Structure 1
């Protein structure tokens, strides 16, 4: 876990969370969570905000009650700047824009969210960073913090996040799908995906510290996302 630490002081810790790890314990309490791991090392920590289990990237936890109140209030008052990056299917019609669509819980399928007029106000800004044709590398700024917000909003405009099992096709990225001369290595019976998890990463966080000074944090992209982007860039240059 030492390699995941982005920033740490006496008030809070910022972690580059891997995909597939819960931020905090779920109701079942069976799977390990980042919070539990931190508490084993640092003692009691306070939850400030959360990331989806399958989303990687920047998340902070407070070390004391004062810091917990300070940072939680910033998130609630929408004074933090939260930037995500991700790979989506296809290319958005508009390369830059905002999605202002209310999000509510799906009453039929538990754990799923949906666009609905009875939902909570939800605002996402998006911008195309690079168009690869079959996929696009995007940047998102969320002004609200609804469950699955980016995933639901990108589905709404017809460009779901890659490998999204809930709101997209859930298909992994295979090198053979866009590399014409792809060959399996001799020891492999079947192709392993170059990316097999939700292609969404919490990239930057801007907030005010306890002393009022601006803190800007950034979580480097994980290896799987970097490798996928490298291969897509190679394909684009051909």
Structure 2
């Protein structure tokens, strides 16, 4: 249409013409072509999920600005090379997520959070304020807070944030170089015919349904080491070590092995969306993250306080997932 990039937070040293508002950083959009018809028409066509009336109201109150902070009007020209800034807004009220995150660690560079199930890491789709990033920005007043990796909304566990732009690149590079050690746990069906631990590899790609992944023939591009912690009847408790970070890698790998994760609505078959069942969270947990600190060389490890929830008739009460 007319854009190629947008972001929820500006580059570290770039001028940002709008401040963080109620924990929400402004988004921006680069325009890659010059178009007739004015800014209102462009925005309505570029973002069809937002009504033209809503865009008109935002423009009328000066809520959309150019790179210098000058408010744009409905008839403002659309020119290639422009960067426009705006706040993401939802037209319908958000559904509250009734689970609370905790902060495991904070220093002058990092904030490490323990994310509950159902809470998105960053604003996306129908979620804005009910996200881990915005909740933490509001609570701690850290305008430069940004995650340096992410967890699926359905997955609980450890997420690392940077709040110091000067050191952010050093920590981001750890994930790019794959020197961060991640440990997950899952409750899933039994895997038969394997000696534990073992390594599972496959080639993954986005499926026709954009929100899931699939395995295809070809050179593997995903790898997971799988350990068995214990087995109880029709369920088993696994420790998972992903050596790559493909979308839904652990969920797809276990499903491909005939052991889908308990309460997984996507794998092996994506079920029709019926809304969240807060009584049946996906039993996948980012248990721990460890790494050698790029600034000090110190070995650091952060571990989730959550626990997976065995069905009541399969395991003892003290193993149930705590959201306290």
User: How would you bin the TM-score normalised by the shorter chain?
Assistant: 0.7 to 0.9
Which residue of the partner structure matches residue 25 of structure 1?
123
Counterparts of 1:18 and 1:215 in 2: how far apart (Å)? 22
1:232 lines up with 2:314 in the alignment: yes
Contact 2:101 2:116 in 1 (8 A): no
Local SS of the residue matching 2:314: helix
Q: What are the superposed Cα offsets for residues 133-158 of structure 1, whole Å, 9 maximum, x if unpaired? A: 21000000011111101001111111
Q: What are the superposed Cα offsets for residues 163-211 of structure 1, whole Å, 9 maximum, x if unpaired? A: 000004799xxxxxxxxxxxxxxxxxxxxx9950100000011112221
Shift of residue 57, structure 1, vs aligned partner: 0.4
The structure-2 alpha-carbon separation of the partners of 1:170 and 1:130, relative to structure 1 and needing over 3 Å to count, comes to farther
Task: Show structure 2 runs of 5+ residues with no match.
Answer: 1-98, 272-276, 317-324
Counterparts of 2:137 and 2:240 in 1: how far apart (Å)? 31
Higher relative contact order (CA 8 A, sep 6+): 1
Local SS of the residue matching 1:102: strand
Matches within 5 A, 1:11-90: 11-27=109-125, 29-30=127-128, 32-40=130-138, 41-43=140-142, 44-90=144-190
The structure-2 alpha-carbon separation of the partners of 1:233 and 1:143, relative to structure 1 and needing over 3 Å to count, comes to same
Task: Give the number of equivalent residue pairs.
Answer: 210
TM-score normalized with structure 1 length: 0.79
Contact 1:46 1:64 in 2 (8 A): no
Contact 2:233 2:314 in 1 (8 A): no
Q: What are the superposed Cα offsets for residues 198-230 of structure 1, whole Å, 9 maximum, x if unpaired? A: 0000001111222111101111224xx25x277
More helix by share: 1
Match of 1:207 among 291, 300, 304: 291
The structure-2 alpha-carbon separation of the partners of 1:116 and 1:168, relative to structure 1 and needing over 3 Å to count, comes to closer
Task: Show structure 1 runs of 5+ residues with no match.
Answer: 172-192
